[in-house]
Structure 1
Amino acid sequence: MSEVTSPPISETEAARRRASRRPARGRVRLRTLLAIRWVAVTGQAASLLFVDFVLGYPIPLLLAVTAVAALAAATLVPQIRRKANARLNDRESALYFAFDMVQLSVLLALTGGLHNPFSLLLLAPVTVSAAALSFRSTLGLTALAITCINILALFHLPLPWPGSSFDLPPIFVFGLTIALGLAVVFISVYVFKVAEESRRVTDALMAVQSALDREQRISSVGALAAAAAHELGSPLGTISLIAKELTNELPAESPYRADAELLLSQADRCRHILAEIAARPEQSSHDHFHVLAAPLLVELAAEPFLRPSVALRIEARSEGGEQDPPLMPRRPEIMHGLGNLLQNAIEFAKEEVQVVVAWSRAELSITITDDGVGFPPDLLARLGDPYISAAMRRYGGGKLVGRVGSGGGRAADRRKGDHMGLGIFIAQNLLERSGGNVQFGNNDFGGAEVKVVWPRSALAHEASRE
C-alpha cells in the first residue's frame, strides 16, 4: 500500500492553524477574579461601617449590607463549587463582570448615585474586559456601564452628608454623566486596541520563532544526513562485497542464490540513495561552509525560488578600497530572511529581479529590486507590521503577499488567499536579529525595492559565532 504524504505548509499557514487551536479569548483565571471580588467585598463593607459608625452619616445600612452580602455570596459559591485554578471562558467572565457592575450600581444608588466619588469604579469592569475579553463581551459591558451611569444620574438616594442633604446642580450631574459615558467608551476602545495589537504581535513573534526553529532543524537534519551517508558507506560496502562473493560462489540451482542477488541489489540501492543525499547541496556541502561571500550567499538563498520566466541578476559593487566581497555567516536567520524577500520579489516580478551587493569599510548592503507592481504607497509605512490582512484586501494582495517557507497552491491562489502579512514581518525580524536594518520602498520604475544594511562589525560578530 503506497504511503500518502501531505504537502508542506508555510509558516504563515502554520501560525494560522496554531491561532485556531488556541483557546478563545476571555480565559480569565477564577482564582484571580475571586481574589479581586473579596477585596471589593472587604472595601465596600469597611466603607459602609466607617461612614455609618465613625462619621455618623445616615445611610440605608440594611439595604447596603444586603448588596454587599450578595456580592460575597456570589463569590463564595463558585469558590466552593469550582476549582480555584479553573479558567473562565469569555461568556462566563463577561457574566461575572456584569454582575459586579450591577451590584456596584445598586450600592451606589443607595449611597448618592453619581454624587458618590466611588462611582468612578464603574470603569473597572469595562477596563478589564477590554484587556482580556472579546470585542462582543467588551461591547456588551460598555453598553451596560453606560446604562447604569444614566440610571444612577436619575434615580438614587441622597448622598450621606452631615446636616442637610448634599445636592449638585443638575447641569453638573448631566456633565458628569456625559464624562463618565465618554470615559467608558474611550477606555474600552483604547485598551481593547492596545491589547489586541499586543496579542497580534505576540502571535507574529511566535511565527518568527517557528520559522527560525524550522530553518535550524533543516540545517541540523542536513548535517545529520551528510554524516549518516559518510558513516554508512563503509558497512554497506562490506555488505555488498560479501553479497557479491556469495552470488559468485553459489550455484545457479541453489535456493539461496536469488536471496544473495536480492541482498546485493538492495545494498547497491542503499549506496545510491546515500550518495544522492551526500550530493544534495542544501543538506551537505552548504553546511560545511558556515561563512560565505555575500554574493554567493544571496545566490544560495534565492536558489529554491528561481523561475525560468524571471531572471535573477546579482551585482557585486565595492564602494571603498576593499575589492573582495565581505564574508557573511550562513546563519538560519539570514538565509531564511533573505530567502523570503527574494522569493517575494521573484514571485511578483515580470521579467527580472536585480540584487546589488554593495560594501564599504563600515557597512554591507543588499538591495533587492524587481520590475513588478511595487508596494502600495499608502501601505509603505505599515510594511513590517503583522496581520495587516484588512489593508491587503483593499489592494487585492499586491506585493504584501510574502509566502514563508514551502507551501502548496498556485501563485494566483496565493495572491488571492487569506494572507496575514506575516512573510515580511518574519523576514524583517529575522534579519534584524542578525544586526541588519530593513528598508522598504519603490524604485524609479515602479517596482518594489528592499534594502538590508548590516554594519561590518555586526557581521564580524555573527561570523565569530560560527
Structure 2
Amino acid sequence: MPTPAPPTKMPAATAESAAVAGELHPPRAGVASLDNAIGHQNMQQLIQLRWFAVVGQVATILVVHYGFEIRLPLDHMLQVLACLALFNMVSLLRSRSHRRVTNGELFVALLVDVATLTAQLYLSGGATNPFVFLFLLQVTLGAVLLKAWSTWTMVVITSICFAGLALFSRPLALPLDHDRGLWSPYIQGMLVCFALNAALLVIFITRISRNLRARDARLADLRQRASEEEHIVRMGLLASGAAHELGTPLATLAVILGDWRRLPHFSSDPELLTEVAEMELQIQRCKSIVSGILLSAGEARGESSEETTVSTFLDDLVEEWRTTRPVEDFEYDNHFGRDLPMVSDSALKQMICNVLDNALEASPHWLRLEAAHDADALTITVTDAGPGFLPAILKEFGKPYQSSKGRAGGGLGLFLVVNVARTVGGRVAAANRPEGGAVVKITLPLAAIVLEEEETEVDDDADDEEALAAAGRTIGMEGNERNRS
C-alpha cells in the first residue's frame, strides 16, 4: 500500500522567532542566507525521501497483489507512481538553482504528496485501506514545515480527501477476520501503517531538533557578533574622540618644551636640558600613540600607509616593541620564508602589540614570538612563562571584560585582538602549556593582508601613494564587508 511522502527538516519559522524585544538582532543578510541554506536542505531532504516513498510504494503494491493475492489495479497505481517520480525529477532540477525555497513551494510539494496518497488509496480500497491514517503524517509535516494558514489548509484538504474516499471509493475484498489478530491481513496492514508513521515521525522530529539546535547556535553566534561589533564601534568612537581632544594639549606641550630648550636657563644647565629632551621624546611618543588610535579608527589611514613586506613589518614591529618595553629575555623567530608585499597597518600592529603586552605583564622575565608561513596564512605564536590562563578565561576567550587582573574595564585587550583578527578572516586561539605559561596563536589569511603584485606596479608616484592608501583602507574594511555579506 502507499507510503507517505517524506518530511523535510526545518519549520517555516524564520528570523521572527529569533529576536525578541530588547535583544540585539543578528545581521539580516546572515539570517537570510541561513534561511536560504536551510530551505535548500529541506528541498534536498524531501527529494531524497520521496524516492524512498516511490520504492516503498512499489514494494507494498507488489507484496499485496502477489503475496496476499489481493487484486489491485496495477496499471493505474503504477501510473500514479510514475507521475510522482516525474514531479520528483522536476523538484531535483529546481533544487539545483539558488533561488530561495518559499513556504508556497513546500505547500505545493506536500499537496502533491497528499494527492498521490489519495489517488493510491482510491485505487486500493479507499477509507477501508489501513494506510489511510498516513493522512495524519501529512498534517504533521504541514504543522512543522508550513505557516499557520498553510497548515490549516492542509487539515481541511486532507479531511475532504478522507471524506471523499469514504463516499466514492470501492472497498477492498478483505475478509472480516479481525479476531485472528496479527494473522488478519487488515491488522497486519494497520501494524505496518503504525510502524511506518512512528518511524518517519521519529526520524523527522530528530532531524528537526538537530537542525533547530544548529540554527539557534548560528543565530546566537550572529547575535554575539553584532553585540561585539557594536561594542567595538562605541569604543572606537570614544578612543577617536579622546585622541582628538588630546591632540591640542600635546601640541601645546611640544611647543612649550621647544621654547624651554632655547631659554638660557635651560640651555646652560645640561641636566635640565636632558630632562627637557626626555620630556620631548615622551610627548612625541604620546603623539604617535594618538595618531595610531586615529589610524585604527579609520581616520587618515591612507596618509601614513607605506608599502613594506611581511617579514619587514614583523621585524620593525618587534624592534619597536622591544625598545619601548622593559622585557628582560625576548626571543624572536621569523620563519616566514618567502617574503610578500603588504601595507603596514596600524590595526594589525596594535593587535600583535596587545598580545605581547599581555604576555609581558604575565611573564616579565621571558617571552617568545614566532612567525611562520602556514599554507595560505601567516601564523604568529606568542609564548610566555607566566601562570597561564584561568579555565574560566579560556572558556570565554575573546569576550569583553574577561580578565583576571581585577581592574575595572579590564579584559578588552584580547577582545580587540580577536575582533581585529576576525575582520580580516583570521582567528585567535589560546591554550596553557603543560610546563607552565600560556600560548596565544594568531592566524591571518595572506589574501587579506598581502598586496597583489599588480596593485604595486604603478607608473606614477601619485598613483602609487593612492594605491597604498587604498590598500591600507582595504585591510581595515575587508572584514566588515565580509560580515555584511
Q: Same fold (TM over 0.5)?
A: no
TM-score by length of 2: 0.37
TM-score by length of 1: 0.39
